[in-house]
Amino acid sequence: MRLPVDSLEPGTYTAYFLARDGYEWLAEPVEVRLSADGPVSFPVEEATLHNARQGQAYEARLGGLVSGGATGFTKVGGDGWVEVSSDGTLSGTPRASVHRETPAGVSRADRSSARVTVEATGEDGSSARLDVIIPVRRHDQPLVDEVGVMSLNT
């Protein structure tokens, strides 16, 4: 039996062989690893992640942003409170001192953001860098100013 995998991203998948469109296993699950063809890359040079709040733990994952089968991530530089794990998870707790003076030519919104450069390494030895911006809200501010909700009926 062959299954098309053209639309799947590189990664590890678990395949189940089930009976009669149900959930009864005909065999034990099989773990399948799809490796990437070509060099590792990010679709953009810079990405803004979800908001952080001063004094509260922050976590975000970059694994879904990289193509080409990244085997590891490292922090190349940037704000000290942000740590990068080998699986591409950014974490840390922003301090109250993240808010900086606004230099000439920098928007007010940019002055309260952390910046980090992350490097992904590919299975083939290639590497790619992504500049990450993490907006940091004050401890007494909501994480977002407005929430939009959409409902679909099918």
CA distances from 22 to 17, 29, 31, 74, 135 (A): 10, 15, 20, 43, 46
Torsion-angle region of 6 (φ positive above 0: left; ψ -120 to 50: alpha; else: beta): alpha
pLDDT digits (tens, 9 = 90+) for 66-110: 887 778 999 999 999 999 999 999 999 998 754 444 444 444 444
Which of 28, 118, 123, 30 is CA-nearest to residue 78?
Answer: 118
Is 127 within 8 Å of 115 (Cβ atoms)?
A: no
CATH node for 46-137: 2.60.40.10
Average pLDDT, the chain: 84
Two tokens at 41?
Answer: 């890359």
Amino acid code (one letter) for 112: S
% of the chain surpassing 70 pLDDT: 86
pLDDT digits (tens, 9 = 90+) for 104-154: 444 444 458 999 999 999 888 899 999 999 999 998 888 888 888 988 887
Q: Is 75 exposed, middle or buried (0-12, 13-18, 19+ CB in 10 A)?
A: middle
Hey, where are the domains in the chain? Answer: 46-137
Two tokens at 103?
Answer: 């230099």
CA–CA dist 7, 1 (Å, integer) = 18
